[in-house]
Amino acid sequence: MAAETTLFAVAAIGLLTVAPSMLMIASPAAMSRAILAFGSKPCFHAAEIVIRLVPGAALVACASQTLHPLAMASWPDQGENGKA
């Protein structure tokens, strides 16, 4: 069950990465205005930290389930068997 949940988390991160990219390709002027408008709000920096921290933590937490776990982990001793 946990493996399925982590796979869904990784897939969601992928979709959340691809969707804004597609919007940027489809309508670059509108996305530019939206980014500039959001960047001027006081909550921008906190939102940016959360937007980077949550997917990063999810990817590190799921590193042992990837094809190359040592390459995905942020430290070398987090492999499948706990050894580098």
Helix (H), strand (E), coil (C) string for 14-82: HHHHHHHHHHHHHCHHHHHHHHHHHHCCCCHHHHHHHHHHHHHHHHHHCHHHCCCHHHHCCCCCCCCCC
Instruction: Show me where the domains of the chain are located.
Output: 2-72
Give the tens place of pLDDT for each residue, 26-84: 999 999 998 899 888 888 888 889 888 887 887 777 777 777 666 666 555 545 555 54
Position 30 scores a pLDDT of 92
Total residues found in the chain within this entry: 84
Q: What's this model's pTM, rounded to 2 decimal places?
A: 0.47
The answer, yes or no, to whether residue 17 has pLDDT greater than 70, is yes
Position 61 scores a pLDDT of 78
